[in-house]
Amino acid sequence: MPGVSRRIAISAVALSVLVGAAVGVVGFTFVYAKGSSYLTDDPSACANCHVMNEQYAGWVKSSHHGVAVCNDCHAPRDFLGKYYTKALNGWHHSVAFTSGDFHEPIHIGARNLEVTESACRSCHQDIVQAIEPGLLVRVSAEGAGGSRGETERHGGPHLPPGDGTMSCVRCHRSVGHMQLD
């Protein structure tokens, strides 16, 4: 895969430049490309990169335009996670953008999707509580006194799988970005 190795190569070169304290150039890149935009919550900061234009435009048309900005959905809730994700994504995107070497159209990856999924859950905690079996386990076990033992004796046919949550985006793909589909 020449594409991948090229990307790694550029990444490596870029890194060594960093480590080699060629701070001036990189700093210029960072500032010029408005790399600092990663540190704010301003959506237009993301759209600084023309490759984000489409998502930006989709967001403007979306149902969440008035209620959520990019980082509400694409950065974890907690402070550390937020800046870790931003740093990771920021670095990835800068390298990808500069090398021009990434899959198009851009599709969200599994890791970032998990971040987004948990953002949905965190805002919509109330409304989606009812549909998660994990919660049902908790509610009925809490209130049931001795009934947990009951379950074990009768042997429910299977234990709740750890990953048995429902993917929101499967049905609500376009809440953040209105699109034709």
Partner 1 sequence: ALATNIFERKQEARNPFFRVAELTDDTVDPAIWGKNFPLQYDMYLRTVDQVRTKYGGSEAVPHAPTQADPRSVVAQSRLEEDPRLKTMWAGYAFSKDFREERGHAHMLADQTFTERQQVTKQPGTCLHCHASTYNVYKKLGDGDLMKGFDAVNHMTYFEARKLTEHPVACIDCHDSQTLQLRVTRPAFMQAMARMKAAQGVQDYNVNRDATRQEMRSYVCGQCHVEYYFKGPEKTLTYPWDKGLKIENILAYYDENPHKDWTHADTGAPVLKAQHPEFEMWNQGVHARSGVSCSDCHMPYTRVGAQKISDHHVRSPLLNINRACQTCHHFSEAELRARAEALQERTFRLRNQGLDALMGLVNDVKAAKAAGKTDQDLAGVYALQRRGQFMLDFIEAENSMGFHAPEEAARILGQATNLIRQAQILVRDSNFKPEIPDALPASAGDAHAGPGTGGKPVGSPAEGTGGTAH
Q: By C-beta, is 84 or 129 nearer to partner 1?
A: 129
CB contact at 8 A, 99 and 6: yes
Output helix, strand, coil percentages for the chain, rounded to the nearest 5. Answer: 65, 0, 35
CB contact at 8 A, 43 and 70: yes
**What is the rounded distance in angstroms from the CA atom of residue 35 to the CA atom of residue 33?**
5
User: 23-32 vs 79-99: helix axis angle to the nearest 10?
Assistant: 100
**Binding residue (CB under 6 A) for ligand HEC from 1, 32, 103, 154:** 103
Site for partner 1 in 129-168 (CB under 8 A): 129-131, 133, 135-137, 139-141, 143-144, 147-148, 150-151, 154, 156-158, 160-161, 163-167
Number of shown-chain residues binding ligand HEC (CB under 6 A): 59
Q: Counting contacts by CB under 6 A, is residue 76 touching ligand HEC?
A: no
CB contact at 8 A, 117 and 167: yes
Q: Which residues bind partner 1 (CB under 8 A)?
A: 14, 17, 25-26, 28-29, 32-33, 50-51, 61, 97-98, 100, 103-105, 107-110, 112-114, 117, 125-131, 133, 135-137, 139-141, 143-144, 147-148, 150-151, 154, 156-158, 160-161, 163-167, 169-174, 178-181
